[in-house]
Structure formats: C-alpha cells, structure tokens
Chain A
C-alpha cells in the first residue's frame, strides 16, 4: 500500500496555515487549540452551547444541501431563517401553549418556504439566476425584519429592538435538563429530518429525479423529469428547512427575535453543505464541526484572540476537503 502523500501534504499545509494564522493574531497555537477544544466540547456547559449552535447550522446546512442537490445555489438561507423566525415568534406569542408551539413551527416552515418560492419560480420560468434572486430576497427579508422589530412587533417595554419573550408553555421541551448541561428536542428533530431526507434521496423515485436534475439537467429532461417543477420544489423545500431552523431557534433556545437574530447561520449553512460534499448524512458531522469551531473561537475572545478567526479556520477546512474530493474525482478517469 502506498501512502496518500498528496492528502498528507494537504493536511500538513492546512495545519501550517492555521498555525500561522494563530501566530499572526498573537496567540500561542498549542494553547489556543487546547482552549478551543475545552471551551467547545471540554465541559457540560460548553457542550450545551455547542449543540445550541449546531441546531440552526444543521437546518441551514441541510437547506443549502437540498437546493445544491438540484443544482441550485440557495444563498438566501439567512433571509429565509429570519423570516421563518419572525413568523414563528408571532404565532407563539399569540397562542402561548404546546399547540401554539406546533403551529409556530409550521409557521416558520411556511414562511421560509414562501421566502424561497419566488427564487424558484424566477429560475424555472424566467431563467433568472437563483444566486441573484436569493441575495435580493435576503435584503428584502432583512429590511422587513428591521421594520417589524422596530415597529409592529417590538416589545415597547424594552430599550432594544426585540420582540417580547414567548410564554414558557410554547417552549420546545428539553430532553435532558441537568444544568449546566441541557438540550432540547430541536436538534433531534433536525437530525431525524436529515436522516429521513437522506433515505428519501437515495431510495425514492422523486429523490432520484432531484439528483438527476442537479447532475445532468439535459438528461433529466430527456428522461421525463419535470425540470421546472423540481427546480421550484427543491428551492421551496430549501427555504422551508431554513425557516424551520429559525423557528427552532426561537422556540427552543432564544424565545424571542431581535435585530441580528439570524447571526450568519444562513451563510454558514453554505459552508456546512459544501463540507458535507455529496452525502446528506455528512451534513450532521459537518454542522457539528462548524458548531465546535464557532463556539470554540467565540470563547477565544476571552483570551484576547479575535473572534473573526473562526472564519479563517472554517475556510481552510472547506478548501482542504474540496481538494481531497478533487483528488478522488480525478481518480475515476
């Protein structure tokens, strides 16, 4: 057996770059690594925060993955998540009960789906590129959120632009609640959806056609797949998943919506999906890795390392994995 030298070099090179990045911001790399690990998965409270972050990352990662599988770039998960969370909080505030919680989840899904639908329609029937339309929908969604949070939905009792907090009756229940560790049902919900989607994609005829459209749209057309329908539906489903992410954040964790609520999770979803490559199940570990690095580098701020470092780390990881896969694909020929 010969050693995969290219991969070894790639890994070493990535480590060297991360090392340099850490040195450049004035950290002592071994200490920084140790801190990151301890503060993301080293103790129960750290786990709690990491898994909180993982929920929306998994939802948006899967959202982007679904669209990508059909050959579409959904850059709009950020806006879809935001709009979903607003719809969800509105319902939960109006109906403060467990039933209200279920409705609020549905509201988040529907709002996210509706926010992606125009991009699907424009792509399918007018040929407008989904990257452009989803970016534009992001801006509209953010402007809408700004207005709602500053006006109609604002909690007048507070200084900041935030909605009122939802009633405890509408919280998503915890499955484990032994502080400092606790975890609610939402991560399990999204994980089950991911597994279900993976099965559907591999085993169902519609899943086959979805992949076919993404792989070779011309062959899909000649094979009787309804290209336009698949485009519209996959974009809509993608938005629905991002909207679900927003709803779960509201109902499980944040219990309110405020300015900047979406926090870049929608854009991180792009990275999560890219890192997962071709496998839907891989979105789960990919989202976990993103959560670890994000949580870990958030904590590094406490030892005077700039928070922006997580972007550098994640970027490097994505590039290295892409290079691995490029190697694999050239081996086929």
Chain B
C-alpha cells in the first residue's frame, strides 16, 4: 500500500520537470495505474465489489483510452515539447516539494496517507493548469486534479457506485 502511494507521489513530482509531451502522458499513465492498484488493494482488504469496479474504470479510461487519444493528437502536432513554460522545471520541482509539505502540515491530524496524497495531486494539477501553455499539458493537469479527487473520495467517504461513476 505504502509503495503504491509512493509511486503515485513520485510520478506526480516527476511530471513537473518534463518538457516532452509523450513523457508527460507516460507518467500520467503510471499515476493512474498506481491509483487503480490502490483501489484493487482496498477492495482486497475490505471485500467490497465497488472498489474493483472503480479500479477497472480507472484502468480502462485513464490508463488506456485517454493516453491513446493524447498520443494520437501529439503525433499530429509539430512540436513535441513545451518550450516556454511560465515557471520552468527547476522551480516546478521546488513548488511541488512545497505542496507536499503544505499537504502534510494541513492534514497532520488525519491518519491516512491517501487524503494527503490526494491534496498534493489536486494542488499540483492546478499548478500545471496555470503554468503550462500547451493544451495537452493543461488536460493532464486537469486529469491529475481528478485523480486527486478519486483519492480523497476513497479515503473519506464511500459513495455509491452510480455516484462514483458520475464523479468520473
């Protein structure tokens, strides 16, 4: 479990320095996959079916369909890199580490690590949304925010499957 959370966090932080668009989608895929495995793990622990369903959905949509669509549209583009970011890679690393600290400080009363990771993902997703100029990078930022919400929702309240699908 801790390993999976670490993987999610690492892939998120790693995203901040990448310029190549394909590398971005790749890391995003790793992030979604590790979230899906977190779902499976929770399902295995609690024996509830809807965790499995959520994990399958995450794999199907966020790890397979969306990266394929993105790679297709990247191939159509002329430039494969994000050239002028508003905040460059070096500072993005620093910011993402600041986000981790903020999340740990704000939510130190919570036992679970999932909700902290979720907050980091939301903060970092909005950060990417603001500082990148390419539309695809902004999409990835938005999807990262969504992944963060899935994590928060997993850790706090267990919704019905229909509603989980709606959030999706």
A complexed with B: no
